[in-house]
Amino acid sequence: MPSPAPPGTSRAGTGGQVRGSAAVGYGTFITGPVTATVLSLSTTVRELRATREQPARSAVAKELLRSPTTRTTSSGTPPPSSS
- Does this model's pTM top 0.75? no
- Answer whether residue 2 shows pLDDT above 70: no
Distant-in-sequence, close-in-space partners of 79: CB < 8 Å, separation ≥ 6? 68, 71, 72, 73
Each domain of the chain, given as residue ranges in start order, spans 34-64
Q: Which amino acid is at 53?
A: E
In this predicted structure, which of 16-25, 32-41, 73-82 has the lowest mean pLDDT?
A: 73-82
Contact 20, 8 (CB under 8 A): yes
pLDDT at site 83: 55
59 φ/ψ angles, rounded to the nearest 5 degrees: -65, -40
Task: Name the CA radius of gyration of the chain, rounded.
Answer: 33
Q: Provide the mean pLDDT of the chain.
A: 78
Q: How confident is the model at residue 19, as a pLDDT?
A: 82
- Taking the mean position of all CA atoms in its chain, how far away is CA 15? 40
pLDDT in tens, 37-69: 999 999 999 999 888 888 888 888 888 888 665
> Cα separation of 3 and 5, whole Å?
7
pLDDT number for residue 63: 85
